[in-house]
Structures are given as structure tokens and as C-alpha cells.
Amino acid sequence: MIDMNIKFFRKNVNMTQEQLAEKLNVTRQTVAKWENGEVMPNISDCISMAQIFQITVDDLVKDMKEEDLVFVAPKGKHLFGIVTVGDRGQIVIPKDARQVFDINSGDKLIILGDEQQGIAIVKADAFESFAKQIIEGFKEKGEL
């Protein structure tokens, strides 16, 4: 469980046992023992590892199958699943995503695109607020 998770997340961030040990102020042998299931890390080390791996402590310690680990996103990042584009270009935003980002029926969304980076969807009122802040900043500097 936690042994497999530590090893997976450490490798996921391209870190050696030695590098993780240095960040946690423990020996490489300690990390190896955690990954081999010989000993368990203390809660303080679990919290530190979660921060290093940019995951939650729950993600670090919960029992998951190896294929499930691939879908653990960094804190604040989400993977809501796959959507299918309809014939007229419509998509259905998954319920979990609508709840996390407070998207409700009737909300206006802005679709932004970058040919290199892809598409982003932003709530229109949040984008408008951000744009106003930018304009005010230019006004304060006398650049607008």
C-alpha cells in the first residue's frame, strides 16, 4: 500500500531514493525500507512527502491498484475523466467538475485556445473580473 505509493510517486517526479532522503532529512536506507514495506514512515514524513509529490496525504497512504495511481493528480489539479465531443461541437462537463468550479445551468463560459497548449474553459464572470483588474493596473501606472 504506502510502500508501493511512495515508490510510484517518487519515480513520478523523477527523484532518486537519495534525493528524497535528502529532502526529508533521512537516510537513503530509510526510504528503501519504506518502499520495501519493512517500516512505515511517521506522519510528519508522510506530510512532507505529500508536499514534495504535490498530492494529498490521503493519496499517499490509501490502498490503490497500480493502474489507479496513474490518475492521481497534484493538489489543486483535477482529472474529471474523458468527454466526447458531439456532432455540433457540444461537450458535457462532468458533474464533479461543475461542483468543484461552481458551474451551473445558465452560466456563461469563455473558451480560450492556444494552438500549442490546447483549450481552456473559464467562467465569464471570473474572466471579466480578472480583465478589469488588469485594466485598473494599467490605469494606475498611467499606461492606459
Quick: pLDDT tens for 14-50: 999 999 999 999 999 999 999 999 999 999 999 999 9
Is a pLDDT exceeding 60 seen at residue 137?
A: yes
The answer to whether residue 79 sits within a structural domain is no
Q: Which cell is 77 given? A: 489539479
Compute the mean pLDDT over every residue in the chain, rounded to the nearest whole number: 87
The answer to whether residue 120 sits within a structural domain is yes
CA-based nearest residue to 11, from 52, 65, 47:
52
The answer to whether residue 41 sits within a structural domain is yes
The predicted structure's pLDDT at residue 117:
85
The answer to whether residue 34 sits within a structural domain is yes
Element (H, E) at 78: none
- 60 and 108 share a domain? no
- Domain that includes residue 107, residue range: 95-140
pTM of the model: 0.51
* N-to-C CA span, the chain: 57
Q: For the chain, what percent of residues have pLDDT higher than 90? A: 41
CATH number of the domain within which 19 lies? 1.10.260.40
Structural domains counted in the chain: 2
